[in-house]
Structure 1
Amino acid sequence: MKTQTIVLKSRPDGKPKESDFGFVEDTLKALSSGEILLKLQYVSVDPYLRGRMSDAKSYVEPFEIDKPMSSLVVAKVTDSKNDKFKKDDMVTGMLPWKKEQISNGENIQKIDDKDVPLSAYLGVLGMTGLTAYLGLTEIGKPKKGETLVVSGAAGAVGSTVGQIGKIMGCKVVGIAGTDEKVDKLKSKFGYNEGINYNTTDDMGAAIKKNCPDGVDIYFDNVGGEISDAILFNINKFSRTINCGAIAVYNETSTPKSVSVRPFLIKNSALMQGFIIGNYADKFGEARKQLAQYLKEDQLTYEETIVEGFENIPSAFMGLFEGKNTGKMIVKI
């Protein structure tokens, strides 16, 4: 059987471009005992993958040149010689961007679409939802009546964070890049206020206006100048959750930034970065709580779905141009 794989052809200089990706065709061997044949159904594309395209030291190994790229996917079992899986089972796991592939069944989990669409396992019930829930609860420790600010608020993680904050009794203010996204934050995701950073000349003043009682929790998905402006508005004992820094992922030189130390010292404030793997032992509990929120209609989500295996690279690049609202997913 012929299959197609997307590989990393070159390490990006700045924003990723089409020529950084390559398409390779190869032949799959026959299944051996204990193996299953998988066919991709949905592929998650995420900003953190940009870091893995570089060879700089990071918390995950970089992708290798001329080797497959990978991310969280949903796949269908089309053939099985493994007693744990049968034909037509649906599974999710971290797998290569390969249309059809052989697996030994390790590190993948069976899922179903009885209660939620399969794509939700890449978003609100996958790493996206877990990142939002565990980052907010483990580091942010929200208390009723506090003010929570979320940057990248219309993205997959941000839109989920805001809703969880509301469930926990916070006033929630979101920062996004278009008026349409800001409107959606309030109309669909329950945000109290929204700020369009592209039409705001003085971000510090805008945050002060929308957060008259100051900022108690900041869930930072972007870094850069937006996050600098938050520092001027933090309260005593505030908590900043450093989840992502998409504003600087494609910088080719070290960005200049406000020194955080005086703000943290003066306000006895906490700033902590994290990766979702830190809380792996809490995934089951968190997924159960997120599923309960969904069941009770307290939590909604949005997906931007691009169709076609060949469009995985362009969907990924679209993340850096704000082309997604909610989770960016490619349907194969």
Structure 2
Amino acid sequence: MTTFNRSILLASRPEGMPKRGNFQLITESIPIIQEEEMLIKSIYLSVDPYMRGRMRGIKTYVAPYELNEVLTGGVVGEVIDSKNPIYNVGDIVEGRLGWADYSVSNGKGIRKVDPNLAPISTALGVVGMPGLTAYFGLLNIGKPKVGETVVVSGAAGAVGTIVGQIAKLKGCRVVGIAGTEEKVKYLKKELDFDVVINYKTENVLESLKKACPNGVDIYFDNVGGEISDSVMSLINFYSRIVICGQISSYNKEAIATGPRVQGQLIQRSALMKGFIVGDYAEQFEEGYSQLGEWVKNGLLKYRENIVDGLENAPEAFMGLFRGDNIGKQLVRISN
């Protein structure tokens, strides 16, 4: 084992699109564990759009990142030293840890990962936070019924790909919105979406009218902005709008002014609800179990976009906002 530990700090708060200069790579000694603690060697690191909000320095549903402190996110790693009675050397674990080669944890917020059930990387994707987000958002808020039309924006992302597949499992017609022809092809050919709209080359509203002749029953919103404005114009009576993300606005310094949707919600007796996955923490075991079973049985497919090297984590993070990834964006720190 090496004797040094690399970490990535938030060096400055981004203005607009994050830049490489907002991050700093430092090298220190590997930390020494105390009683009840364990040392975890990072294997995979997750980068997620919500992290951009934490970089603003404003508390929302989660504390902001502090300047000149190690960034944190979802990590899968191996326990290589332990003074914690629950975790043994060799255990594979997942939790919110540092953007670093090695992290110390007292076990709070950490869960064991069984490498025999699925590749360990899936604990950060389809059988992790994105999978749970899709599962609870669609099933608990969207409440899909057979024959309904479900529209998913950001459909080729880590959450969107899973939402669409679960909707298909529930007998729905699924319309995805994505930004490249490669993504369109993947969603249609491999994930069996009924229609996929390329928002960069098509008139979204006109394409939606053709794709949803009977209107929209459920809209799973990952992006917000003008795309969501178009979808909202087609919602049905008693439709459900699931607000999961607003990635189109994460790098904007001012809050955009757009159409007011309250009138449409009244006219259609529709429900719009925002959520975070932690709202369903008491049901996580149910979600992990069902998602794992679907993956094991081949009913839920997934794709991972993997960048190698801790030093490349900032670039992988910035790539989320360029739309570089199909499926889950990961950084491989070690083997």
Q: TM-score, normalised by structure 1?
A: 0.98
Residue 232 of structure 1 deviates from its aligned partner by 1.0
Residues 150, 217 of structure 2: 8 Å contact kept:
yes
Residue in structure 1 matching 2:16, options 9, 14, 22: 14
Residue identity matched to 1:183 = K
Residue 68 of structure 1 deviates from its aligned partner by 0.9
Q: Does 1:294 align with 2:320?
A: no
Q: What SS does structure 1 have at the residue aligned with 2:231?
A: helix
Mean alpha-carbon deviation: is it higher for 230-239 or for 248-257? 248-257
Residue 33 of structure 1 deviates from its aligned partner by 2.7
Q: Residue 213 of structure 1 aligns with which residue?
A: 214
How is 1:1-332 mapped onto 2 (pairs within 5 angstroms)?
A: 1-200=3-202, 202-332=203-333
Q: Deviations over 1:195-249 (max 9, x none)?
A: 000001x321111100111000000000000000011111011100000000011
Query: Percent of aligned pairs with the same residue?
Result: 50
Unpaired runs of 5+ in structure 2? none
Distance 1:262 1:30, change over 3 A: closer
Q: What SS does structure 2 have at the residue aligned with 1:199?
A: coil
Alpha-carbon distance in 2 for matches of 1:29, 1:158 = 38
Q: What SS does structure 1 have at the residue aligned with 2:63?
A: coil
Unpaired runs of 5+ in structure 1? none
Q: What SS does structure 2 have at the residue aligned with 1:13?
A: coil
Residue identity matched to 2:100 = K
Alpha-carbon distance in 1 for matches of 2:85, 2:266 = 57
Residue 102 of structure 1 deviates from its aligned partner by 2.1
Residue identity matched to 1:21 = F
Alpha-carbon distance in 1 for matches of 2:151, 2:131 = 17
Residue 106 of structure 1 deviates from its aligned partner by 2.3
Alpha-carbon distance in 2 for matches of 1:32, 1:246 = 40
Q: What SS does structure 2 have at the residue aligned with 1:280?
A: helix
Distance 1:289 1:134, change over 3 A: same
Alpha-carbon distance in 2 for matches of 1:89, 1:77 = 5
Alpha-carbon distance in 2 for matches of 1:285, 1:88 = 26
Residue 57 of structure 1 deviates from its aligned partner by 3.3
Residue identity matched to 1:272 = K
Alpha-carbon distance in 2 for matches of 1:29, 1:188 = 44
Alpha-carbon distance in 1 for matches of 2:107, 2:250 = 33
Mean alpha-carbon deviation: is it higher for 8-17 or for 248-257? 248-257
Q: What SS does structure 1 have at the residue aligned with 2:265?
A: helix
